[in-house]
Structure 1
Amino acid sequence: MFALVRRADLAEVIGSALAAKAAGAGVRVIAERLGRAVETVRGWLRRFASRAEEIRRYFTVLLVDAGVDPAPPGPARSVFADAVGAVVGAWWSLGSRWPDIGTVSPWRVACAVSGGILLAPSWPVETINTSRP
């Protein structure tokens, strides 16, 4: 999976906007850097922020459950940044167990793990179970 449901941009584009916001960039700077409309980027950031704590929890559980020797990220300066850190940490942890995962971006992995609905109104629907095929 490489795109999120109801989003025209690739997961990597949206993910780079989320990472930039977590690093402290403003919406206008992010939109300009990505060549996207300010309202589009603002929508991504608002949707992610509205469920940042759930995303942080979900990906932290994945990080711990799937990792060979997991090391959850420490607290960041905001819940938003914590959630982005958990997504990247889960990608790193999955890559430690399955090295081929490290060849794709953390945002493509997040897209796949969420079934493409990371920014959809209905996510998350259930808790993660990494032992289920």
Structure 2
Amino acid sequence: MFALFRRADLAEVIGSALAAKAAGAGARVIAGRLGRPVETVRGWLRRFASRAEGIRRFFTVLLVDAGVDPAVPGPSRTLFADAVNAVVGAWWSVASRWPNVGKVSPWAVACAASGGILLAPSWPLETINTNRL
């Protein structure tokens, strides 16, 4: 899966915008770099920010469950950056177990893990159980 539900851009394009925001860039700068409308980029950033805690939890659980020797990322300066780091960390853990996964971007893995609905209104589910047995 390489595209998110109801999004015209590939997961890598949206993911690069999310990573740039986590690094401190603003919507206008990101939109300029990507050649996308500011409102489109702002929409991606707002949707991700509105569910950053759920995304962080979901991908941290994936990181721990899939990793051979998982290393959970430490806290960042923002919850948004924590969520982006969890996505990248989950990709790293999945790729450590299944090396061919490392040939795709972290955002393609995030797209697949979320069923393509990473930025859809119905995800992440509020009932995600983050407790380990």
Is the TM value for this pair above 0.5? yes
Provide TM-score, normalisation by structure 2.
0.94
Query: Aligned equivalents of 2:61 and 2:73: distance in 1?
Result: 12
What is aligned with 2:61? 61
Q: Residues 6-31 of structure 1, C-alpha deviation per residue, up to 9 Å, x if partnerless?
A: 00000000000000000000110000
Matches within 5 A, 1:19-98: 19-98=19-98
Counterparts of 1:59 and 1:74, CA distance in 2 = 14
Alpha-carbon contact 2:111-2:117 (below 8 Å) kept? yes
Q: Percent identity?
A: 82
Q: Could you tell me how far 1:128 is from its partner in structure 2? A: 7.1
- Number of aligned residue pairs: 129
Gaps of 5+ in 1: none
Deviating beyond 6 angstroms after TM superposition, the runs of 4 or more aligned structure 1 residues are none
Structure 2 SS opposite 1:77: coil
Q: Residue type matched to 1:16 in 2?
A: S
In 1, Cα distance between equivalents of 2:55 and 2:26: 21
* Cα pair 1:4 1:118 within 8 Å, conserved: yes
Please report how far the alpha carbon of residue 103 of structure 1 lies from its aligned counterpart in structure 2 after TM superposition.
Answer: 0.2
State the distance in 1 between where 2:118 and 2:129 align. 13
Distance 2:82 2:124 in 1: 17
- For 1:117 and 1:10, locate their aligned partners in 2 and report how far apart those are by CA, in whole Å: 13
Cα 1:90–1:128 change in 2 (3 A) is: farther
- Distance in 2 of aligned mates of 1:50 and 1:69: 30
In 2, the alpha carbon distance for the partners of 1:89 and 1:25 equals 21
In the TM superposition, residue 127 of structure 1 has moved relative to its aligned partner by 2.8
Match of 2:122 in 1: 122
